[in-house]
Structure 1
Amino acid sequence: MAEKRRGSWGEGELYDALCLLMIGACCWIIGAQFHAFGTLNHFILAHGLSDQLMLGFFMGLAMIVVSLRKSLKLRLAMRERDATAARAEAVARHDALTGLANRRLFLEAVELSRRATGAEPSSAVLLVDLDRFKPVNDLYGHAAGNAVLCTVAERLDGLLPARGVAARIGGDEFAMLVPLEGGSEALARLAQAVIGSIAAPVLWNGNALRVGATVGIALITGEDVDAEVVLHAADLAMYQGKKDGRGTYRVFKSAMDVELKARAQLESELRAAILNGEIEPFYQPVVSLPEQTLIGVEVLARWRHPTRGLLAPARFISIAEETGLIADLSYRLLRQACIDARDWPAHLQIALNISPQQFQDTWLSERILAILTETGLAPNRLEVEITETALVQDLEAARATLTSLQNLGVRIALDDFGTGYSSLYHLRELKFDKLKIDRSYIDTISMSEERAKLVDAIIKLSASLGLVTTAEGIETNASVDWLATQGCDFGQGYLFGAPMPKSEIDTLVSIDPEVAKSCLAA
């Protein structure tokens, strides 16, 4: 305990002062013993103050040293404190991974620009959101994702004009504050340069990682309420770019805000509709060619909206995919379709399209099997349709899922064949049961000889691989005759019937096949 007290005392300022006073006293004693003060002693002795004055001199000198030392320590401590505060402030205002400004610093910069701007805009915000970034993280890990983020940050910083600010404002979202020099054309060139730069591959551990970018632009004016409003406007413009196909840029317009609010309302209503069973399966007939006898149906979603009426999938499926509601929606549709199909003739199949997001679920086959088991529908009566979009993210995962489904007895169809960029590759690598020729080819076979040749080539390719083909979007008897002559196996389209509710399809499947054939032909 005594040692602890001595340690505490030794660290105090009083201890330092006493030490220096003792040193001063020792200096005086040594000087007096060795007669080091010389002439000064003779002068002072005449006044009789030599010992007292010299002692006081050395004690005063010691106190001056104490004061100087304390002042120096305080100054050093203040400098260290200021440096630490500056480092902490820099950390608090910059992104730790990329070194760019963070959201807080960026908003401060935007606010300063807004306050310095009049009615005419003098600067703009570019909100940059990465496309296809999640697959990079999923396939290669977070280290690869971080490498992409750092590279994107470097490229944005390299494109940044003088007096501009680049920031990472969260996740895979970046932003740039740039002066509006050169007008809208210069701003458009910058946005295109950003998109082109980010699209260049990022080399990482021998892999070429590819992402894209969609850019939203908002001009800053003094009429904006604050920086958050400017950033929100850029976000709305970016969302419009995503909606228009990604890899592009859009400039904010006030109509976008109205549209986003309407979309948010529809999204809220969609969540409730799925829970309340307002979205139901409709069934479009699929027939054999050339006989035109019913062999199955494709399951299509229809939303019986309480105020907007019957809504087609184009109005809500994309929202379901973007919000993660698509899986719940699809499984509910499948369950109801399986229940409906139990009362139909056993040879009739049901076909359901599975979204790319669902196809990334490693438990997809188990979930489908659970629904088949629950409803009692034989697996060989189900056909799952997938598009090439579901395959490009992870081919090996796709192969495993397809094999698992086929092992259950479920058939697999490649939907919208001819619209993807790697169809032949996927046909070679994966085992399908059917090809569905996209309606865009069928619509024009009677008007374009080149299109007709392409459809003929697809049918022959499918036959050579042992696959059957279904032509979508058939609307004329001339198309039926031509497709049948070329060897197409099945067809669907408005010529054979529009998507219909359960009550109508029940009537169709319950009548005599020849009568049903006449109904379809009519």
Structure 2
Amino acid sequence: MNCRNCFPTSICYEIVIDGESNRNYIPDIIKQLKRNNMLIHEEKTSFLIKEEGIVELYDFFTDHLDTSSIRFRVDKEKWRPIHEVEELIQSQWIDKVIREQLVTCYYQPIVDVEGKVYGYEALSRFFDEVGNPIPPLEAYKAAKRRNRMYSLDRVCRMNAVQQSSLLNKKVFINFVPTSIYSPEHCLKSTVQLAQQLGIDPSNFVFEVVETEQVEDLEHLKRILLYYKEKGFNYALDDVGEGFSSIEVLRELAPNYMKLDMRYVQGVSEDKDKQETAKHFLKAAIQVGAIPLAEGIEEKEDFLWLRNMGYQLFQGYLFGKPSPHIHTDLHKVENNGK
């Protein structure tokens, strides 16, 4: 049976109307919703409707009612002022992106100390139905507004595994831990796909993003343990923000730790960034993780980090994200040394 989080269906809106003058309209509103087959359930001052009816109803609210006394919610989450429903309506396009899997992968090379390709980070890129690109940040914002983060994260993850099947390199794949409800259930399809394609699971490195938003450490540990038991590797991104103690890092036992670009760019001349980079490197060594510096654009920064002991590197200096892997590979091996 398909999970509604994997394959999103239309949102249902629960609406509550306060204020005596507003409530006078409720009987007529209910009748109209019933006529149009939009009503799912009704109470005395609230009702649940299909998404197809929300646009017309919202227009009616703004024309005839005091909207400051009307609230809504979806999926039993917190109540919100009715004017915020516009954000959800305007973000409906993300459901089509997810349903039709309008996503592809761009690959950015990750190189070793000699500038040779060690692997790639698979970065999702989105398109509308006619092929126009959609900025990734806009896609994730729309998914978050409509509570589609797991659905989008799953599509990106599965697509990355599928498109990486012919690579004989490490492939870093981002995932958002806060979007995963149960690792045993939510990540099962990822494991099955890798098995079907005959891919060595150790070729994949699942990279935790949004680490600063991880509040349930035990839940994250369950996710990472599941990946580890299935033979996958994993990396922690933005470690300085999300995990501040060596004890926590030892518990998570990452295979890789990524130093964020804000500490990388200009590090060869910035004493504060140098201290952060040294502290990060020490932490990685202590927990047995491979240190990786991302966002490298200048050769001086690469050389400084390499001399300090960093082992892997990523950034425009070695290649921009591209759908054409062979082009980047040639570029890296000639310019990364």
TM, length-normalised to structure 1 = 0.48
Question: Which residue matches 1:361?
Answer: 182
Q: Is the 8 A contact 2:88 2:145 kept in 1?
A: no
Question: Which residue matches 2:139?
Answer: 316
Once the two structures are TM-superposed, the CA of residue 109 in structure 1 deviates from its matched residue by 8.2
Question: Which residue matches 2:107?
Answer: 283
Distance verdict in 2 for CA 1:226–1:321, change over 3 Å:
closer
Q: Is the 8 A contact 1:352 1:385 kept in 2?
A: yes
Once the two structures are TM-superposed, the CA of residue 496 in structure 1 deviates from its matched residue by 1.4
After TM superposition, the structure 1 = structure 2 runs for residues 125-274 of structure 1, keeping only pairs within 5 Å, are: 225-227=64-66, 229-231=67-69, 261=86, 264-265=89-90, 267-274=91-98
After TM superposition, the structure 1 = structure 2 runs for residues 460-471 of structure 1, keeping only pairs within 5 Å, are: 460-471=282-293
Distance 1:409 1:459 in 2: 25
| Code of the aligned partner of 1:429 | E
Question: Using CA pairs below 8 Å that are at least 6 residues apart, which structure has the higher relative contact order?
Answer: 2
| Code of the aligned partner of 2:325 | I
After TM superposition, the structure 1 = structure 2 runs for residues 470-509 of structure 1, keeping only pairs within 5 Å, are: 470-501=292-323, 504-509=324-329
Distance 2:213 2:228 in 1: 17
Question: Which residue matches 1:398?
Answer: 220
Distance 1:423 1:323 in 2: 34
Question: Which residue matches 1:325?
Answer: 148
Q: Is the 8 A contact 1:224 1:230 kept in 2?
A: no
Distance verdict in 2 for CA 1:264–1:322, change over 3 Å:
same
Distance 1:331 1:520 in 2: 33
Distance 1:397 1:325 in 2: 19
Distance 1:360 1:389 in 2: 18
Once the two structures are TM-superposed, the CA of residue 459 in structure 1 deviates from its matched residue by 0.6
Q: Which has the larger radius of gyration?
A: 1
| Code of the aligned partner of 1:505 | I
Distance 1:465 1:337 in 2: 28
Once the two structures are TM-superposed, the CA of residue 362 in structure 1 deviates from its matched residue by 3.2
Secondary structure of the corresponding residue to residue 303 of structure 1: strand
Secondary structure of the corresponding residue to residue 377 of structure 1: coil
Distance 2:332 2:304 in 1: 22
Q: Is the 8 A contact 2:125 2:133 kept in 1?
A: yes
After TM superposition, the structure 1 = structure 2 runs for residues 27-176 of structure 1, keeping only pairs within 5 Å, are: 103=16, 106-108=18-20
Distance 2:128 2:229 in 1: 38
TM, length-normalised to structure 2 = 0.72
Distance verdict in 2 for CA 1:468–1:421, change over 3 Å:
closer
Q: Is the 8 A contact 1:356 1:390 kept in 2?
A: no
Distance 2:335 2:99 in 1: 35
Distance 2:212 2:190 in 1: 20
Q: Is the 8 A contact 1:352 1:384 kept in 2?
A: yes
Q: Is the 8 A contact 1:417 1:435 kept in 2?
A: yes
After TM superposition, the structure 1 = structure 2 runs for residues 413-452 of structure 1, keeping only pairs within 5 Å, are: 413-420=235-242, 422=244, 424-452=246-274
Once the two structures are TM-superposed, the CA of residue 487 in structure 1 deviates from its matched residue by 0.6
Distance 2:245 2:207 in 1: 15
Aligned counterpart in structure 2 of residue 294 of structure 1, from 111, 117, 121: 117
Distance verdict in 2 for CA 1:443–1:508, change over 3 Å:
closer
Q: Is the 8 A contact 1:111 1:226 kept in 2?
A: no
Question: Which residue matches 1:408?
Answer: 230
Distance verdict in 2 for CA 1:311–1:235, change over 3 Å:
same
Distance 1:445 1:406 in 2: 33
Once the two structures are TM-superposed, the CA of residue 299 in structure 1 deviates from its matched residue by 1.3
Question: Which residue matches 2:334?
Answer: 518
Distance 2:243 2:157 in 1: 29
Question: Which residue matches 1:351?
Answer: 172
Secondary structure of the corresponding residue to residue 310 of structure 2: coil
Once the two structures are TM-superposed, the CA of residue 474 in structure 1 deviates from its matched residue by 0.8
Distance 1:405 1:382 in 2: 10
Distance 2:88 2:275 in 1: 42
| Code of the aligned partner of 1:264 | I
Distance verdict in 2 for CA 1:321–1:226, change over 3 Å:
closer
Gap regions ≥5 residues in structure 2: 1-14, 25-45, 48-61, 74-80
Secondary structure of the corresponding residue to residue 316 of structure 1: helix
Q: Is the 8 A contact 1:473 1:493 kept in 2?
A: yes
Deviations 1:257-310 (A, max 9, x none): 6x9747633x22221122223211111111112x11111111111112356832
Residue 386, structure 1, aligned to residue 225, structure 2: no
Question: Which residue matches 1:66?
Answer: none
Deviations 1:334-393 (A, max 9, x none): 33333332322x2x1111111133333232442321121122211000101114356422
Distance verdict in 2 for CA 1:476–1:263, change over 3 Å:
farther
Distance verdict in 2 for CA 1:337–1:107, change over 3 Å:
same
| Code of the aligned partner of 2:65 | D
Please give the root-mean-square deviation of Cα atoms over the aligned residues, in Å. 3.4
Once the two structures are TM-superposed, the CA of residue 396 in structure 1 deviates from its matched residue by 2.6
Once the two structures are TM-superposed, the CA of residue 517 in structure 1 deviates from its matched residue by 0.5
Once the two structures are TM-superposed, the CA of residue 455 in structure 1 deviates from its matched residue by 0.9
Distance verdict in 2 for CA 1:453–1:368, change over 3 Å:
same
Once the two structures are TM-superposed, the CA of residue 520 in structure 1 deviates from its matched residue by 5.5
Distance verdict in 2 for CA 1:508–1:494, change over 3 Å:
closer
Question: Which residue matches 1:11?
Answer: none
Once the two structures are TM-superposed, the CA of residue 314 in structure 1 deviates from its matched residue by 0.9
Q: Is the 8 A contact 1:356 1:389 kept in 2?
A: no
May I ask how many residue pairs the two structures share in their alignment? Answer: 281
- The structure that is helix-richer by fraction is 1
| Code of the aligned partner of 1:352 | I
Distance 1:367 1:307 in 2: 29
